[in-house]
Structure 1
Amino acid sequence: MVISSPKDKYFGVWVIFFLLGLGTLLPWNFFMTATVYFTSRLKDPSADSRTNQTEAAGDHRSALEAKFNNVMTLCAMLPLLLFTCLNSFLHTIVSQRVRVMGSLLVIMVVFIVTAVLVKVPLEPLPFFSVTMVKIVIINSFGAVLQGSLFGMAGLLPASYTTPIMSGQGLAGTFAALAMICAIASGSELHDAAFGYFITACVVISVSLLSYVLLPKLEFFQFYQEKNKKQRKDDENSVNLMNEDRKQEAASETQNISMVKIFKKLWRLALSVCFTFTVTIGTFPAITADTKSTLGSWDLYFIPVSCFLLFNLCDWSGRSLTAVYMWPNKDSMLLPVLIVCRVVFVPLFMLCNVEPRLHLPVFFHHDGFFIVFMILFAFSNGYLASLCMCYGPKNVLPHEAETAGAIMAFFLSLGLALGAALSFIFRALV
């Protein structure tokens, strides 16, 4: 007798996965979008008297200011990759509840410390070092949170990966809007930054409370029990074997199960990896250094046309997969479209990125940058979300959680590779 799945009443589980997806990438987006605040505290005080002369000569930023975007991206993505890999082992020895709640609590503490440090004067080098340590911490625990979340979603119908991806997309939009509001308020930069980081603490608290409610929902309970029953049936089938066969089966399970699962979804795993390699190789290391050629909206150009526009279009692309999924998971068109995105790297490099040493500016007008950003961001969100939705559905139901963790690992691998390549791309401009 087949037991039918209960309904997700009032889309409660969908909303909670959306909020958890929001909490997963919100910390990184809040740090990335606040680059104006961070770089303002990295200025070399002794250089103030030389500002006019150095402005005429070109780049007048201090060494710490100049390398902030690249080092920030690297300090974010390498721990993300390492801890996503570790999470594939952690999920067997540390309970889901401890991994998710523990990660959210640590991230919230880091943001509280960040808000406090807004009011504490520090020299540029110590401030730079402390900021990078905080970025390492939030992305380490963010990786555990993200891997756990995709593993949980792998147990549910395919459509429940979409709210995670959509929530992650909204995280950037929310961070960009919060920064624009902080600038528009007319407050001093430090006062605006304090309110900005406190806002992040509130949102992470909401994500934490939503996770506490998740196990109480019937729809989620049904799929959790279904997974436990599947695992128990597998164990019972092994117990019926003789001892020699048991040891052989256990050895096979440990040694080749991950390989078998990877063979089923390697194309999707490499596709999502390449998607984020191109994205992070370009954004924000190159895009955040682009200057407006119109001059009338310098203060808002990067917050609006870089961060807000990217995150709105990325979110739109991720959300579209909830109602429309094309091409299908076996189509060769999907990896072809993903490889074609590499064209965005030279397009952004030829925009008005400052300072520059090698390449000419070919796309002077702000309109070119905005059009490129819309296409770049939308394709990132849509194609990455397709890969993440298809991945766990390419394997057997009891392999779905492991498949979700593998896909999350390759997503993080793409982020780390992109972070490393961003140094090369930026140096070529």
Structure 2
Amino acid sequence: MAFTESSLLLPSVSGTNKNKNKVPEDKWYLAYIVYFTLGLGYLLPWNAFITAVDYFSFLYPDASVDRIFAVVYMIVGLVGISLIILYSHKSDAYVRINVGLALFVVSLLVVPLLDAFYIKGRVGFYSGFYVTAGAVGLSGVADALVQGSIVGSAGELPDRYMQAVIAGTAASGVLVSALRIFTKAVYPQDASGLQKSANLYFSVSIVIVFLCMVFYNMVHKLPVMKYYKELKVEAVTANEDNGPLTGPVWRSTVWNIVRRIRWYGFGIVLIYVVTLAIFPGYITEDVHSQILKDWYPILLIAGYNVFDLVGKCLTAVYLLQNAKVAIGGCIARLLFFPLFLGCLHGPKFFRTEIPVTILTCLLGLTNGYLTSALMILIPKIVMLQHAETAGIVSVLFLVFGLAAGSVIAWFWVI
């Protein structure tokens, strides 16, 4: 099924719409850049917490830091996204995004302030760990507010803006990998070096999230954004004859949206079940290199992130419109399990750096392209007035896939 960029965003042509055939130009790609930056920004806080796990593990040696952080973040995210879906018709995306970005800044400030005034680099102060875990939970709340709302609002716009958001999330991984390589090369891997690395991650994240706040509050003034906002208002107004979307009517509407996009959602869940079952656990724990030593997992993770970004940018060049093919591609990714298994227990050549690197890059490339394709297509198969909700529901599928993949990674012993 083929979709044009604007046809599915337009309500039925009326006297009002006839004078609005000319879409304002996105001059200098400002709106695109803003949505790319927002995608970059809302994933950075989580990346900061998880990339600084070496420092947290040094401070709290008896705590399973990465697993506890993941559980807290995923549970809070799932509950938060679910609540937003149920009550999105009663709240405004503009408010949710601004509140979420503010909460991101607060959660990111907790760690450096806690370290400066209480922990001071000392080991074993577990009350600090509980506060840090609370900051991770607060970041999860912020992520639910921002990610769901950004993806939802991008769903009301042409394809390129959803592609910008999804590509931005991949750029977040590339940025963090670059920072990780820089800190490993520059700082010693002792208490002081780990502390400086962590502070750098959080400082960069705070600056970028603050920029997101500024950019987001400016983007609504652009003519192209005003144009598409007016289209949505017209679509919602035209639908008011069917009665207000409250109570059972709204729940029924949400359920109909879920049923409409369920196979797309299944594809997204499957993408992240496969990816998270392998990456980063397998990459960081199960494969080793006598040549690259402790640089090996860092470079593999960087390779994955770069190709994930490449995949998410490719949809700007060619977007796969056939949903069956895209979902079939998600199922075909199950082949990564036996292939990576072969890199651990197969012939000697398979256990060398080249096959593992190629497979890791392919894992990132397919993850990026298929995620971007499905996330772009989902809002386009519902009416414009429901595109935001469809986008938020797609985030619920994505977060569920992340959570399921993380759980499987615990039990899948290669």
Specify if TM > 0.5: yes
Matches within 5 A, 1:305-320: 305-306=300-301, 308-320=302-314
Q: Distance in 2 between matches of 1:320 and 1:38?
A: 36
- What displacement does 1:68 show? 3.6
Contact 1:153-1:160 at 8 Å conserved across structures: yes
Corresponding residue number in structure 1 for 2:362: 375
Q: Is the 8 A contact 1:84 1:409 kept in 2?
A: yes
Whether the 8 Å contact between 2:114 and 2:128 is mirrored in structure 1 is no
Deviation at 1:423, TM superposition (A): 1.4
Note if 1:341 corresponds to 2:336: no
Alignment match, 2:30: 12
- 1:91: which partner in 2? 88
TM-superposed CA distance for 1:29, in Å, is 1.6
Say if 2:165 is the partner of 1:178. no
In 2, the alpha carbon distance for the partners of 1:340 and 1:419 equals: 20
SS of structure 2 residue aligned to 1:293: coil
The one of 366, 371, 389 aligned to 2:376: 389
CA distance, structure 1, for counterparts of residue 246 and residue 113 of structure 2: 51
Q: What is the aligned length? A: 387
- Deviation of the 1:163 alpha carbon: 0.3
Query: Which whole-Å deviations, capped at 9, do the CAs of 1:122-175 have from their partners, x for residues lacking one?
Result: 416445434433222212211221110011111111221000000000001101
* 1:210 to 2:215 alignment: yes
How many Å separate the matches in 1 of 2:143 and 2:126? 26
Q: In the alignment, what sits opposite 2:201?
A: 196
* Among candidates 226, 239, 260, match of residue 234 of structure 1: 239
1:351-385 per-position Cα deviation (integer Å, ceiling 9, x unaligned): 56xxxxxx799743222321111011110010011
Q: Distance in 2 between matches of 1:264 and 1:310?
A: 32
Cα distance between partner residues in 2 of 1:316 and 1:78: 30
Q: 1:138 to 1:250 in 2, by over 3 A?
A: closer
Which of 102, 113, 133 is the aligned partner of 1:116? 113
Output the CA distance in 1 between the equivalents of 2:308 and 2:67: 21
Cα distance between partner residues in 1 of 2:55 and 2:94: 35
Are 2:322 and 1:329 aligned? yes
**Matching of residue 36 in structure 1 with residue 50 in structure 2:** no
CA distance in structure 2 between the partners assigned to 1:351 and 1:74 by the alignment: 29
Separation in structure 2 between the aligned mates of residue 231 and residue 408 of structure 1, nearest angstrom = 23
AA matched with 2:228:
Y
State the Cα deviation string for residues 89-118 of structure 1 (Å, max 9, x = none). 342233222211111111112112212344
Match of 2:280 in 1: 284
**What TM-score, normalized by structure 1, do the two folds share?**
0.83
Task: Choose the corresponding residue for 1:301, options 293, 296, 299.
Answer: 296
Q: 1:205 to 1:255 in 2, by over 3 A?
A: closer
For the pair shown, the structure with the greater C-alpha radius of gyration is 1
- Alpha-carbon distance, 1:220 to partner: 0.6
Amino acid at match of 1:21: G
User: For the Cα contact (< 8 Å) 1:314–1:379, is it kept in 2?
Assistant: yes
1:270/1:410 contact within 8 Å kept: yes
Change (3 A) 1:118 1:345: farther
% identical equivalent positions: 25
Query: CA 1:139–1:282 in structure 2 vs 1: closer, same or farther (change >3 Å)?
Result: farther
Match of 2:8 in 1: none
Q: Secondary structure at the match of 1:286?
A: helix
Q: Equivalents in 2 of 1:127, 1:351: separation in Å?
A: 40
Structure 1 gap segments, 5+ residues each: 44-62, 239-245, 353-358
The Cα offsets for residues 377-406 of structure 1, whole Å up to 9 and x where unpaired, read as: 110010011100000111122221111111
Partner of 1:134: 135
C-alpha contact (below 8 Å) 1:69/1:284 kept by paired residues: no
* Residue in 2 that maps onto 1:356: none
Residues 139 and 94 of structure 1: is their aligned pair in 2 closer, same or farther, counting only changes over 3 Å? same
Alpha-carbon separation, structure 2, partners of 1:256 and 1:145: 25
For 2:228, the equivalent position in structure 1 comes to 223
TM-score, structure 2 normalization: 0.86
CA distance in structure 2 between the aligned counterparts of 1:159 and 1:337, rounded to whole angstroms: 22
Matched letter for residue 187 of structure 2: G
Q: Kindly state the Cα deviation for residue 224 of structure 1 after the two structures are TM-superposed.
A: 0.9
> Using a 3 Å threshold, how does the CA distance of structure 1 residues 2 and 403 change in structure 2: closer, same or farther?
farther
Give, in angstroms, the shift of residue 178 of structure 1.
1.0
Superposed CA RMSD: 2.4
Deviation of the 1:250 alpha carbon: 6.8
> Which amino acid is the alignment partner of residue 362 of structure 2?
L
Q: Are residue 162 (structure 1) and residue 163 (structure 2) matched? A: yes
Against the structure 1 CA distance between its residues 393 and 203, is the aligned structure 2 distance closer, same or farther, given a 3 Å change threshold? same
- The answer to whether the 8 A contact 2:44-2:172 is kept is yes
Q: Which moved more, 1:84-93 or 1:369-378?
A: 84-93
* Alpha-carbon offset, residue 179 of structure 1: 1.6
Question: Aligned equivalents of 1:323 and 1:13: distance in 2?
Answer: 18
